[in-house]
Amino acid sequence: MKNNRIVKKGVLKRLIKIMFEFYPVMLPIVVVCIIFNAVISSIPSIFMQNIIALVERSWQNGDWQSVAGRIGGFVLLLTVCYILSLAASFAYNRMMAVITQGSLKKLRVKMFRGMQDLPIRYFDSNNHGDIMSYYTNDIDTLRQMISQSIPQLMMSGIVVTTLFCIMMYYSIWMTFVVLLGVVIMYQVTKKVGGGSAKYFLRQQVALGRVEGFVEEIMNGQKVVKVFCHEEESKSEFDRINDSLFSDAERANKYANTLGPILNNIGNMLYVVVALTGGFFLLAKVPNMSFSGLAFSISIVVPFLNMTRQFAGNINQVSQQINAVVMGLAGASRVFELIDEEPEPDEGSVTLVNAREVDGEIVECAERTNMWAWKYPHGDGSVTYTKLAGDVRMEDVDFGYVLDKTILHDISLYAEPGQKIAFVGATGAGKTTITNLINRFYDIAEGEIHYDGININKIKKADLRHSLGIVLQDTNLFTGTVMENIRYGKLDASDEECSEAAKLAGAHDFITRLPQGYETLLSGNGANLSQGQRQLLAIARAAVADPPAMILDEATSSIDTRTEAIVQRGMDALMKGRTVFVIAHRLSTVKNSDVIMVLDQGSIAERGSHEQLIAQRGKYYQLYTGAFELE
Amino acid sequence: MPIYKVLAKSIREFKTPSIKAPVYVSFEVVMECIIPFIIAMLVNQIKAGGEFGVIARYGLVLVIMAALSLTFGTLAGMSCATASSGFARNLRKDLFYRIQTYSFENIDKFSTSSLVTRMTTDVSNVQNAYMMIIRTAIRCPLMLVFSFAMAFIMGGKMAFIFLFVTPLLGIGLYLVIRKTIPLFRKVFRKYDALNNSIQENVAGMRVVKSYVREDYEKEKFERAAEDVCGDFTRAEKILAINSPLMQFCLYTVMIFVLYFGSYTIITSRGLDLDVGQFSALLTYSFQILSSLMMLSMVFVMITIAGESAHRIVEVLDEESTMKSPEGGLTLVKDGTVDFEHVSFKYSKEAERMALEGIDLHIKSGETIGIIGGTGASKSSLIQLISRLYDTTEGVVKVGGADVREYDLEALRNQVAVVLQKNVLFSGTIKENLRWGNKDASDEELEEVCMLAQADEFISRFPEKYNTRIEQGGTNVSGGQKQRLCIARALLKKPKILILDDSTSAVDTKTDALIRKALREYIPETTKIIIAQRTASVEDADRIIVMEGGTVLAIGTHQELLAGNEVYRDVYVSQNKAGEQNEE
C-alpha cells in the first residue's frame, strides 16, 4: 500500500497559488482584512500606554477634570480602532468560511474530474482504499489548515512584527530581552513541535494500517466465523491497535505539552522583562529607543502587556504546527492525484447517427438504427464508413507490465454479426483481449482495426460507445433499479428500461422486489444475489443498445436455465451485431459462430463448436473434460 | 443504557490518567489565575519605585508559580494524551471483539465500509471529544469561576462589567451553537453519502468508462459536492460569528475598564484601584471570555462526536443472535444430517420464507448433490447445518443431535463449509491454509492440497507454499483461489464437508479430479456439494433438486433424468450439443 505521508517541496506555495486562482478577488480582500485587523489589534497598546501615563501623572492629586478630556479622547480613538477591527474581523471570518469550504469543494471536484480521465490502468494498479483516502483523510486535513492555521499564521506574523516595531519604538534594550525569550521559545517549539508533527504523521500511517486490517477482516468476517478464527484475528488486531496507540499517545503527549511549556516560558519571560524594567528604572539606565522617551512606568507597563501578547502569539502559532504539517502532507497527496497523467486520446474518428440516402451515407442528428464512422481527413474532407462491427487484430502483442507479455502474436477477425467466443483457462488472456478492443489498455505491438479503421484513430469515447460491455464483477450504483438500468442510456423512457429488463430476463425478479423498479439499491446492490445483479447489468447494456457487445463472464452466476432465457433475449437483441463472449462454462459459448480457444496468451484453435468437436483437439478435450487449460 | 455509560466501560486501565488529567488541570488553572495577581503586585512595586530586592522577590514567586504551572500543565497534557489515546484503543478493541462475536445474522446488518468507518473516523471523533472533556471541559468552568473571583477581589465594583458582558457572550454563543448543530448533523450525513458515491465510482470505473459516462459522473459529483459545500458554508458562516462576538465583548470590557478604571484610580487617589490591578483586570477579562469561547467549542465538538458515539454504541449494543450453549456437546458422533420440518427466513421482518417445510435425511458418508436455479435457497439450506443461521421453525440435527446442543466451535470444526463468497487473506499460502488447523504440519498441508488439486500449481510458484497472497487473493486466479479454499476446509478433517458452488471457476477435468480424491481419501466424510453444473453432481449418491425454497425432488442422476423435468432441463441445456455430437 502506498501510504506515504510526507510534505513535498513547494506544496504550500502551490496550495496558496491555487487558492488565489479559486478566489482571485475574495482572497486578497481577506488578506487585507487580516493585515488591517492585525495592525489595529496591536495599536491599543499605544493608547493604553498614553492613558496609563496620564493616570500615572494625576492619580496622586485626584484631579479627574484636568485629564478627563484627554483620556476620553484616547478612549474614543480606541473605540474607533476596535469598531474597525470588529468590522474587519467579521468580514474576513465569514469570507474565510466561504473560501475554506469553496476551496475544498473545488479541490475535490478537480480531483474527481481528473480521476474520471485517468486510464483504467491507474485503478487496476492502485488500492481502492488508498484512492478513497485522498477524498476523505487528505482533504479533511486541509480544512483546519486553510480555515484556521493560515489566517492564524498571517495574523500572528503581522502582530508580532508590529509589536516588535512598537517595542523598538519604546526601548531597544528591553526589546532585546524579549527577543532572547523568543529565541528560547523558537528552540522549544522546534524540538517539541517537531516531535509532535513527526508522531502525528506516524499516527496517520498507523491508522491507515488499522483501517486496512479491519477492512480485510470485516470483508471476510463470515470466513472468520466458519473457521472459528476469532481469537487469532483478535490477537493480530491487538498488535496493530497497540502500535497505533503508542504513536497516538506520543503524538498527543508532545502536542499537549507544547502549550503549557510555551505559555510558562512566556510567564517567565514576563518576570525577566519586569525585573529588567524595574532594574532599569531603579538604576536609571539611560533608555535607547526610536521615540527618545525616557524610562518610566508608563513604558514598562505596556511593555509588559506587549510581552504577554508577543508570547501569546508565538504560542498560538506553535499550536498550528500539527495542523500545518498534516495539512501539507495531505495537500502533497491531493496534488499527487491531480497530477496523475490523464488517459491520452489522440483519435479523431467519431461515431455518428446516419442514414442512407441514394446509396450515400449521410450524417443525421436523430437516433436511427444505423451508425457511421466519421473520418475527417487532413485536407478537410470527411468520409463516412458504415459501422458494421468488423473487428480484426493483427499480430498483437501485449503485456500489463513491461517485459512480461501476456498475449503473443494474436491475430483474429470477427465479421459483422458474428458471435465470437473466447474459451480458455483463467489467465489465458480472454479478458485482456477485450481490454484491448475498447482500449482500456493500449497494445505494444500489432494493430487492431474496427471496420477497417485503426482503433488508435478513433476517439476513445466513440469507440466505447460502439461497444457495450458486461463484466463478471457487476457494479451497480446507489439509486433505484430503474436509475441503474437507465445508466446505459440516460434519456431512455421507463418503458424502454422495462423492455430491456424483459430482454435480459430481469423483469420477473424486479417486479417481485418490494418497490419494483423503484426499489432503492445501495452498497452495490447488497440486497440482490450475484445472479440478479448480473441480470441487471445485462439489462443496463441492453438499454444502451450498442452496435457491438462484449460479455465477459456476464452470466457466470446465473443458473443455466435462466441463462438460456437470457440468451434468447440477447440473441434477439444482438441480431446482426457483433458479440464477443467470454465464458469458462462451455454451454454459454456453444452456439457461437466462432469459438477461439486461448491457451497461455495464444490462440490454440478456432472454429465453430461442431468444427472444433470434429477436430478432436483441445476444445474437444476441454469439452469432454479430459484436458485442463492452466 | 445511556450512550456515555456504554462508552465509559472502555476506559478501564486508563481511569487513573483520566482522573489525573483534570486534577492536574485544576492546579494549572489555579496557578494561571494567581499569576496575574502576583503580576499586578509586581507592577505596583515597579510603579511605586520599590526596592529592587522586593521586586526580585515577587519575581521569584512568579517564576516558582510559572514553574509549577508548567509542571502541572505538562503532567495534565501527558495524562490527557495517555487517557484519550488509551480510551480510543480500548474502544477500537471492544468494537473489534464485539464484532467477532457476531452471528451471520448480525453481520448481515452492517456493511463492511460502515464498520470500518465506525472503527476509525468515529473512534477518532470520540477520542478528540474525550480529550476535550477531561481537559478543556474542566479547565474552562474552573477558569471562569477563578477569574471571576479574582476579578472581584481585584477590581471591586469594576468587575460588575463582567456580569453584563459574560451573559451577553454566553447567549450569543448559545444561539450560534443552536443554529449550527442541526446543520452540521445534516451535512455530515450528506458528506458520508458523497464519499460513498466516490467509492462506488472508483470501484465501478470500468462501467463508467465503458458507457462513456465520465462527464455525466463529473456533473453528478459536482452537484453533490456543491450541495455539501453549500451546507457546510452556511454552518461555518454562522460559526464564524463566534470570533468577532468574542472580540466585541473583550473590547467592550477594555474600553469600560480603561475609562472607568482611570476615573476610579484618579478620583480615589489609587485607593479603590491601582495601576497594577488595572492591568490584571484586563488579563482576567481575557481569560473569562476565552474560557467561554472554548466552552462553546467543546459543546460543538461533543455534539458532533455524539453522532459518532451513537454509531459506535450501535455496534457495541448489538447482541449476538447466537450463543454457544454452556457445556455443549463437543463431539459430533458421525456425519448424519437431518432436517425435520425446517422453515427459515433471514430476519424476523422478512416477509418471505427462504426455506419452507424441509424434511431431509442424509446418512453418514453419503455424497449429496444440490442443484437449483438462482434464488432456490441452496445456500440457505446448507448454512443451517453448521448453524451459521438458526432455523425459524423445525430442527436441524447433526450426528443425531440438535445443532443447538453443540458447542459452536466444535460443531463448525467438524462441519466444514466452503462458502460461495470465499476469501483468502493477505499472508502466505501456508498461513492461509493453517486457518483450517493452526497446528497442521507441512506434510498435512501438502496432503490436503493434493486432494484439492492445488499442490500442482502451488509447486509451480517460485516461493511454493510460502508465496504471499495479496489482500482478497487478487494474485491467484479464481479457480486457484477456490482450490485453496477447499484445501483449507479439508485441513479441519471434518465429519461433514459442504462445498457451496466451490468449483465454479475450476475446469471440469479438475473438478472431477477433486471429487474423485474426496471419494477415495475421505470416504467416511459426508459430502454435500452445491453446483451449477449437473456434471459436478452426476456421480453423487443422491441429488436434491431445489426450487423456490423447497425440495422439488431427490434421487440419483438417472432417476431424476427420467422423472424430474427441472433437472432434465438443466442437464439438457448443458449437454445438448455434446449429445448431438455423439450421435
Q: What percent of chain A has pLDDT over 70?
A: 95
DSSP string, B519-562: HHH-TTSEEEEE-SSGGGTTTSSEEEEEETTEEEEEE-HHHHHH
Per-residue pLDDT tens digits for A466-508 = 888 887 777 888 888 898 899 888 888 899 898 888 888 888 8
Give the pLDDT score at B579.
43
In a domain, B534, yes or no: yes
Judged by a CB distance cut-off of 8 A, whether residue A475 touches chain B is: yes
Residues in chain B with CB shorter than 8 Å from the CB of A134 are none
| Total domains in the fold of chain B | 2
Nearest-10 crossing angle of helices A321-338, A230-283: 130
Residue A279 located in a structural domain = yes
Last residue of a domain, one of B286, B317, B348: B317
Check if A52 contacts B (Cβ < 8 Å). yes
Which pLDDT band, with edges at 50, 70 and 90, does A591 fall under? confident
Structural domain includes residue B105: yes
From CA B41, how far away is CA B45, in angstroms rounded? 6
- Look at strands B337-344 and B355-362 and give their pairing: antiparallel
Cβ A595 vs Cβ A421: under 8 Å: yes
- Alpha carbon separation from B487 to A7, A261, A630, B42, B477 (Å, rounded): 46, 60, 19, 82, 15
Q: What is the ipTM of this complex?
A: 0.83
C-alpha cell at B216: 455525466
- Asked if residue A245 is part of any domain, the answer here is yes
Q: Give B-chain residues touching A589 at CB under 8 angstroms.
A: none
- Residues B298 and B379 grouped into a single domain: no
Both A399 and A330 in a single domain?
Answer: no
Residues A260 and A269: their CA atoms lie apart, in Å, by 14
The β-bridge relationship of strands B542-547 and B468-469 is unpaired
What's the CATH number where B356 sits?
Answer: 3.40.50.300
Same domain, B274 and B365: no
Which helix (H) or strand (E) element contains residue B368?
strand B367-372
Closest CA to B416 of B385, B440, B378: B385
Size of chain B in residues: 583
Whether A538 is covered by a domain: the verdict is yes
CB–CB contact B267 A477 (8 Å): no
Of the candidates B367, B349, B378, the one whose C-alpha atom is nearest the C-alpha of residue B501 is B378
- Residue B220 in domain: yes
Neighbours of A313 (CB within 10 A): 21
Rounded average pLDDT over A117-139? 82
β-partners of residue B376 are: none
Q: Do A354 and A496 fall into the same domain? A: no
Chain centre distance of CA A189: 33
Q: In what helix (H) or strand (E) does residue B496 lie, and over which residues does it extend?
A: strand B496-500
A240 touches chain B (CB under 8 A): no
Ranges of H-type helices in A189-320: 194-219, 221-226, 230-283, 297-319
Reported as a single tens digit per residue, the pLDDT across B519-558 is: 888 888 888 998 877 878 888 888 888 887 888 888 888 8
- The amino acid at residue B183 is L
Phi-psi region of B426 (alpha: psi -120 to 50; beta: other; left: phi over 0): beta
Q: Are A153 and A254 members of one domain?
A: yes
Same domain? A158 vs A124: yes
Indicate whether A67 pLDDT > 60.
Answer: yes
Residue B304 counted as domain residue: yes
Choose, out of B125, B214, B424, B477, the residue to mutate when testing the contact with A (most A CBs < 10 Å): B214
Retrieve residue A202's grid coordinates. 506516524
For residue A264, what is its C-alpha cell? 510558562
Same domain, B250 and B112: yes
Above 50 in pLDDT, residue A628? Answer: no
- Given a cut of 60, is residue A629 above it in pLDDT? no
Task: Indicate if A367 and A418 belong to the same structural domain.
Answer: no
DSSP labels for A330-350?
Answer: HHHHHHHHHTSPPPP----BE
Cβ-defined contact of A471 to B46 (cutoff 8 Å): no
- How much is the pLDDT for A445? 83
- Same domain membership, residue B145 and residue B18: yes
**Nine cell digits for residue B105:** 445474522
Cβ separation A532–B375 shorter than 8 A: yes
Residue A214 to residue B56, Cβ atoms within 8 A: no
- A423 — phi, psi (to 5°)? -125, 145
Q: For residues A323 and A435, state if they share a domain.
A: no
CB contact under 8 Å between A468 and B210, yes or no, is yes
Query: In the structure, what pLDDT confidence band is assigned to residue A4 with cuts at 50, 70 and 90?
Result: low
**CB < 8 Å to A268, chain B:** 62-63, 66
Distance CA B542, CA B555 (A): 5
The sign of the dihedral angle between the CA atoms of A86, A90, A91, A96 is positive
Indicate whether A190 and A305 sit together in one domain: yes
Of all helices (H) and strands (E), which one includes residue B7?
A: helix B3-8
Do B343 and B291 share a structural domain? no
Q: Does residue B12 lie in a domain region?
A: yes
Predicted local distance difference test score (pLDDT) of residue B583: 31
Q: How high is the pLDDT of residue B94?
A: 92
Q: Which of B35, B52, B243 sits opposite A282 (nearest CB)?
A: B52
| pLDDT confidence band for B390 (50 / 70 / 90) | confident
Bridge partner list, B543:
B369, B555
Q: In this structure, which amino acid lies at residue A14?
A: R
B260, B388: one domain: no
Position B578 scores a pLDDT of: 43
Q: Are residues B25 and B173 in the same domain?
A: yes
| Distance from C-alpha of A188 to C-alpha of A180, rounded to nearest angstrom | 13
What is the domain-level CATH number for residue A613?
A: 3.40.50.300
Q: Determine how many CB atoms are found less than 10 A away from the CB of residue B307.
A: 15
The reply to whether A375 and A296 lie within a common domain is no
- Chain A residues touching residue B198 (CB < 8 angstroms): 112, 132, 135
Does A358 lie at the interface with B, CB-CB under 8 angstroms? no
Average pLDDT for chain A: 82
- DSSP-derived letter for residue B359 is E
Q: Cβ contact (<8 Å) for B374 and A558?
A: yes
**Quick check: is A151 in a domain?**
yes
Measured in angstroms, the CA of A108 and the nearest CA of chain B are apart by: 8
B131 lies in the same domain as B242: yes
Question: Measured between CA atoms, how close is A503 to chain B, in angstroms?
Answer: 17
Binned at pLDDT 50, 70 and 90, residue B2 comes out as confident
Does the pLDDT value for residue B262 go beyond 90?
A: no
- d(CA B22, CA B135) in angstroms, rounded, equals 6
Domain co-membership, A364 together with A418 = no
Q: Do B221 and A216 touch (CB under 8 A)?
A: no
Q: Say which CATH number the domain at A188 has.
A: 1.20.1560.10
> Which one of A138, A222, A474, A621 makes the best mutation probe of the B interface by having the most chain B beta carbons within 10 Å?
A222
Contact list in A for residue B372 (CB cut-off 8 A) is: 559
The alpha-carbon gap from B76 to the nearest alpha carbon of chain A, in Å, equals 8
**Looking at beta carbons, which residues of chain B come within 8 Å of A404?**
none
The domain spanning residue B281 has which CATH number? 1.20.1560.10
Query: What is the least distance, in Å, from the CA of B100 to any CA of chain A?
Result: 6
Averaging pLDDT over each range in A23-32, A60-69, B338-347, which range is the top one?
A23-32
Contact check, Cβ <8 Å, B266/A63? yes
Cα–Cα nearest to B521, from B561, B545, B541, B493: B493
**From CA A395, how far away is CA A509, in angstroms rounded?**
45
Chain-chain contact of B581 with A531 (C-beta, under 8 angstroms): no
Partner-chain contact A253 B77, CB within 8 Å: yes
Q: Do A136 and B195 touch (CB under 8 A)?
A: yes
Cβ-defined contact of A488 to B211 (cutoff 8 Å): yes
Q: Report how far residue B4's alpha carbon sits from residue B312's, in angstroms, rounded to the nearest whole number.
A: 11
> Who among A86, A221, A245 is closest to B247 (CB)?
A86
Shortest distance, CA A359 to any CA of chain B (angstroms)? 31
B80 and B227 in a single domain? The answer is yes
Encode pLDDT of B434-473 as tens digits. 888 888 888 888 888 888 888 888 888 888 888 888 776 7
Per the domain annotation, does A461 fall within a domain?
A: yes
With helix as H, strand as E and coil as C, how does A2-33 read?
Answer: CCCCCCCCCHHHHHHHHHHHHCCCHHHHHHHH
CB distance A477–B265 less than 8 Å? no
Report chain A residues whose CB lies below 8 A from the CB of B228. 105
For the purposes of burial, counting CB atoms within 10 Å of the CB of B7, is it exposed (0-12), middle (13-18) or buried (19 or more)? buried
Tell me which chain A residue has its CA closest to the CA of residue B226.
A105
Min distance A368 CA to chain B CA atoms (Å):
19
Query: How many other C-beta atoms lie within 10 A of the C-beta of residue B341?
Result: 12
Same structural domain for residues B242 and B284?
Answer: yes
Q: How far apart are CA B365 and CA B578, in angstroms?
A: 32
Over the stretch A248-294, which tens digit does the pLDDT of each residue have?
999 999 988 888 898 888 888 888 888 888 777 777 777 777 777 77
Among partner residues B47, B218, B265, which is closest to A116 by beta-carbon distance? B218
Range of the domain at A502: 391-623
Q: Please indicate, yes or no, whether residues B520 and B438 belong to a single structural domain of this protein.
A: yes
Residues of B in contact with A488 (CB under 8 A): 211
Yes or no, beta carbons of A263 and B73 under 8 Å apart: yes
CB–CB contact A245 B88 (8 Å) = yes
The answer as to whether A1 is a domain residue is no
Are A536 and A600 contained in the same domain? yes
Query: Which neighbouring-strand residues pair with A357?
Result: A360
Specify the residue for cell string 471523533: B125
d(CA A587, CA B512): 17
A93 touches chain B (CB under 8 A): yes
Q: What is the mean pLDDT of residues A437-453?
A: 86
Together in a domain, B170 and B128: yes
- Residue B92 has what pLDDT? 92
Contact (CB<8Å) B266/A64:
yes
Same domain, residue pair A319 and A408:
no
Considering the domain boundaries, does residue B331 fall inside one?
A: no
Q: pLDDT band at residue B84, thresholds of 50, 70 and 90?
A: very high
Shortest CA distance to A190 belongs to which of A331, A10, A325, A333?
A325
Q: What is the pLDDT of residues A183-212, one digit of tens each?
A: 988 898 888 888 888 888 888 888 888 888
- CB contact (8 A) between residue A211 and residue B120: yes
Q: Would an 8 Å CB–CB cutoff place A230 in contact with chain B? A: yes
In angstroms, the CA B204 to CA A231 distance is 35
A8-21 confidence digits (pLDDT tens): 778 889 998 999 99
Is A82 within the bounds of a domain?
Answer: no
C-alpha cell at B332: 459430533
Tell me the backbone φ, ψ of residue B310, rounded to 5 degrees.
Answer: -60, -45
**Parent domain of B221:** 3-317
pLDDT in tens, B216-237: 888 888 988 899 889 888 888 8
Q: Which residues of A touch B423 (CB under 8 A)?
A: 219-220, 223
- The total number of structural domains in chain A stands at 3
C-alpha cell, A333: 497527496
- Range B571-580 average pLDDT: 59
Q: Among B149, B136, B206, B124, which residue's Cα sits nearest to residue B34?
A: B149
Distance, CA of B241 to CA of B244 (rounded, Å): 6
Does the distance separating the beta carbons of B508 and A625 come in below 8 Å? yes
Asked if residue A2 is part of any domain, the answer here is no
Q: Which residues contact B29 (CB under 8 A, 6 or more apart)?
A: B139, B142, B143, B146
Render pLDDT for A526-548 as a digit per residue (tens, 0 to 9).
Answer: 667 777 888 888 888 888 888 78
Residue to mutate among A252, A285, A458, A545, with most B CBs inside 10 A, is A252
